[in-house]
Amino acid sequence: MITNRGKENQKIFVLDSKYYRYGATKNPNHLPDSASVVKQIAYADYIAKVENRTKMPADLSAFIKSENIYNAFVMPADNAAPENIGCVSADYVLPQDSEDTSKPYYKIHGILLDIKSIMYKHIPHDKKLIEELTNIIEKI
């Protein structure tokens, strides 16, 4: 998901929206596993690397900044509004005691969202929903 594409304040959100069961069970064992965490960080790292930008559209690649790339797992739940339940990372990129915020995509946000209702009321490029989702990912 990209906001303000081709502009100085462009932001890229790498979203993984598999059907993890955590939203229904609240069981930590039903959250994304470490392999999913590592893959998610790798996807954002690929976008951030300068050498890969020649493979992207020019309007997108011109404004890519590591500090404007975010990661999130979107998980189904019966929530009235999207909810950020916290972040996960991998120690090899962001040790737990680190305060590094230069690459926000090293933290992967867990977002609970009523995906079924969004599918029913989907409007292409729903700016209000996109704005709500980007705001809760950027908060932490």
Sign of CA dihedral 70, 76, 78, 80: positive
User: For residue range 34-48, what is the model confidence (pLDDT) as tens digits?
Assistant: 999 999 999 999 999
Angle at 70 between CA 69 and CA 71, to 5 degrees: 135
Categorize the per-residue pLDDT at 140 as very low, low, confident or very high, splitting at 50, 70 and 90: low
User: Is it the case that residue 9 has pLDDT exceeding 90?
Assistant: yes
Residue 98 domain boundaries: 2-139
pLDDT in tens, 65-114: 999 999 999 999 998 788 999 999 998 888 777 777 789 999 999 999 98
Residues pairing with 70 in the sheet: 13
Between 58 and 127, residue with greater pLDDT:
58
> Exposure pattern of 2-21 as b/e (b: 16+ CB <10 Å)?
ebeeeeeebbbbbbbeeebe
Number of folded domains that form the chain:
1
Residue labelled with tokens 């950027």: 138
| Greatest mean pLDDT among 2-11, 98-107, 110-119 | 2-11
CA dist 19 and 137 (Å) reads: 19
Residue type, 28: P
